[in-house]
Chains A and B, each alone.
Chain A
């Protein structure tokens, strides 16, 4: 690996970690029926889809590290070690794996069209992989049965599906405008 490639990877990881943070600080918008969408989990999908497995997971892990160190960067301005003991700890701790799987799929489907593969990667990484861990975490920390915990999490799935669509649209636009920016396929 030549020198500048290494620096470039490190900076891109830091940049995507910052994008995830910035998404958490943006005001949240609401779906019909009052289901809130925070953009933060979209940042997780985006990191995986755009950066690929390893760098995507590293970006998410770096973001969580900064939160654990005390930066109030989680949606709603939360931060500190406390968030890893809250009801959504299972989701948080699974975020790096989520981005990793999304990135892996994106790399594996590199010969396919960007839009459907990015959507698939975001759904598998950001929903199918994420929710079992999130539900298990809520069940463990909140003392709920798995079925109840699952019910409590289901209201977020429509929002997360919308986010996966947005991630796919972004990936496609970026792939058209500046193909080398889609690092998972570069």
Chain B
């Protein structure tokens, strides 16, 4: 996995997460209704300056935007086709600028800091008996499960290949679902045996 996060600390790492997230929210609300070409060019320029100020590692992360490019090309083509190239340029520049700035927030904020920053937003979940700490636990569990799932799939695939000489492909999905359910039951038992997931205080 290629994470966006920059391990090398920069000045932006020192800013509190809530400040960065708040600034991003305000910026996105400000630029979304605008459709002036100079403003969007300034936005993209600001994003590029921000990356340059974060250092060479940050500039290299721009390459991670590549999956977005085909979508933007299609978007621009649609605008061109309906005869408004200017609006197309505005839309593409706006998306590119705001995505880059949002990525910069992710690049300079550790996952646990981000979790702490959004904890107040999760507090209403206590009404349903879900503690914010349980959410943090589930995020951690989920991320731990991803490589486990790949290992499980690989094991099924190898067994299938040993029997038939072909790749399993989608045929493995059903046994896979059953295996993962077994896995989740074991984890749930282990979790319950260790005192269970954090509970919301409902006093």
- The reply on B52 being an interface residue by CB < 8 A is no
Q: Of A69, A73, A78, which is in contact with the most chain B CB atoms at under 10 Å from its CB?
A: A69
Say whether B91 contacts A143, CB under 8 Å: yes
Taking residues whose C-beta sits less than 8 angstroms from the other chain, chain B's interface range is 35 or more
Residues of the B chain whose Cβ atoms lie less than 8 Å from the Cβ of A88: 71
Residues of the B chain whose Cβ atoms lie less than 8 Å from the Cβ of A71: 1, 3, 111, 143
Say whether A10 contacts B139, CB under 8 Å: no
Taking residues whose C-beta sits less than 8 angstroms from the other chain, chain A's interface range is 35 or more
Residues of the A chain whose Cβ atoms lie less than 8 Å from the Cβ of B78: 142, 144, 148, 151-152
B contact patch SS: helix
Say whether B134 contacts A10, CB under 8 Å: yes
Say whether B142 contacts A14, CB under 8 Å: yes
- Say yes or no: A63-B106 contact (C-beta < 8 A), given A8-B184, A8-B185, A72-B1: no
Residues of the A chain whose Cβ atoms lie less than 8 Å from the Cβ of B183: 15
The CA of A48 and the CA of B8, in the complex, are separated in Å by 40
- Say yes or no: A143-B87 contact (C-beta < 8 A), given A4-B192, A88-B71, A173-B174: yes
- Say yes or no: A85-B99 contact (C-beta < 8 A), given A15-B145, A63-B142, A71-B3: yes
Say whether B175 contacts A177, CB under 8 Å: yes
A61's nearest neighbour on chain B, judged by CB, is B135
A-B pairs, 9 with minimum CB distance:
A80-B106, A173-B174, A18-B145, A76-B67, A82-B102, A143-B91, A14-B141, A82-B99, A82-B103
